[in-house]
Amino acid sequence: MNKNAPIAIFDSGMGGLSVFREIEKLMPHENLIYFGDTARVPYGTRSAETIEKFVKSDLDFLAQFEPKHIVVACGTASSVGNKVLKKECEHFTSVITPSAIAATKATKNGKIGVISTVATLKSGAFVRKIKKMMPQAQVYTQATQLFVNLVENGFDENSEVAEVVAKAYLKDLKKAEVDTLILGCTHFPLLSKVIGRQMGEGVTLISSGYETALATKMDLEALGLLNESDAPGTKRFFVSDDLHTFCEMGAIFLKHPLNKKEVELAQIN
């Protein structure tokens, strides 16, 4: 396998950029391809069959770049699409295991909360993974699907609507006294301040972005596939719809401007 080949990172939309940003920081010499399936976002409200079909076509699109590694920067694709990923990818890093490991390390009272999309919750992937690592853990789950819409529509963590929605969604997790909360969808780190305010100071938030980037680096190291070049890595972004919104919102995710010329329209089947 060619060490200069790109790492391909994908999500249903913009959320995966929260993983991309951490990978870019941690591995500045890697060539990166990002694909956001903005024509079909959200994935989290769909059936498992539909999500599996989407994941297969996302992988087919990315195959043309001959990536050395796939990063599934989407909680929904990682959990519901796991079978397809295992069948189609030689190796990949998803957001489930890294987040579960971090949460089991962080918790002191053994009460872990998970917020995610509806489809991720239904898959049970986070609960299974946490219980496997820490059988005595008490895991509390809550689907917070509206968070995805808030983020995709530009409502940030200081907006009034985000505060109201977070309060309603998080009250049961607060009552359960979880001391650790997994942000099980890659869109959620953009709302981490409002989520943190609602949960209270003593609760550790686990963001899949950093944890997944670190796991990706470790996976590449173990495979002997880290890029040894000193040059800054190249970056290409693809979306299946609406370049304009992606550039605008993408800049917020990446915390640096995203030039329209860097983003291309993807043809997916």
* CB 14, min distance to ligand DGL, A: 8
Given a contact cutoff of 8 angstroms between Cβ atoms, the answer to whether 182 and 206 are in contact is yes
- Which listed range, 7-15, 84-92, 122-130, 153-161, lies at the site for ligand DGL (CB under 6 A)? 7-15
Task: For residue 14, give both structure tokens.
Answer: 């913009």
Query: Please, are residues 216 and 226 in contact by the beta-carbon 8 Å criterion?
Result: no
Using CB under 6 A as the binding rule, whether residue 205 contacts ligand DGL is answered as no
Out of 71, 74, 89, 114, the active site residue is 74
Token code pair at residue 80 = 């519901």
Among 7, 8, 9, 15, binds ligand DGL (CB under 6 A): 15
Residue 12 as a binder of ligand DGL (CB under 6 A): the answer is yes
C-beta of residue 253 within 8 angstroms of C-beta of residue 186: no
Q: Check binding of 11 to ligand DGL (CB under 6 A).
A: yes
Q: Please tell me the distance from the alpha carbon of residue 104 to that of residue 57, in angstroms, as a whole number.
A: 33
Tokens of 133: 């690592």
Phi-psi region of 51 (alpha: psi -120 to 50; beta: other; left: phi over 0): alpha
Least Cα distance to 144 among 108, 119, 118 occurs for 118
What is the b/e burial string over 69-93, where b = at least 16 CB atoms within 10 angstroms of the residue's CB?
bbbbbbbbbbbbbbebbeebbeebb
Burial of 103 from C-beta contacts in 10 A (0-12 / 13-18 / 19+): buried
Question: Out of 148, 173, 181, 195, which residue is the one contacting ligand DGL (CB under 6 A)?
Answer: 148
117 is a contact residue toward ligand DGL (CB under 6 A): yes
Rg (CA), the chain: 17
Among the listed residues 185, 213, 220, 249, the single catalytic one is 185
| Owner of token pair 């498992």 | 48
74 is catalytic: yes
For the CB of residue 171, give the shortest distance to ligand DGL in the complex, in Å: 22
Q: How far is the CB of 150 from ligand DGL (least distance, A)?
A: 11
Q: Does 21 bind ligand DGL (CB under 6 A)?
A: no
32 binds ligand DGL (CB under 6 A): no
Q: Which of residues 34-93 bind ligand DGL (CB under 6 A)?
A: 41-44, 74-76
CB of residue 192 to ligand DGL, shortest distance in Å: 14
Q: Does 187 bind ligand DGL (CB under 6 A)?
A: yes
31 vs 116, beta carbon nearer ligand DGL: 116
Using a 10 angstrom Cβ sphere, with 0-12 exposed, 13-18 middle and 19 or more buried, the burial of residue 200 is: exposed
- Residue 89 known to be catalytic: no
Nearer Cβ to ligand DGL (102/225): 102
If the CB atoms of residues 44 and 250 are measured against ligand DGL, the closer one turns out to be 44
Q: Is 185 in the site for ligand DGL (CB under 6 A)?
A: yes
Binding positions for ligand DGL, rule: CB under 6 A: 11-13, 15, 41-44, 74-76, 117, 120, 148, 185-187
Catalytic positions, please? 74, 185
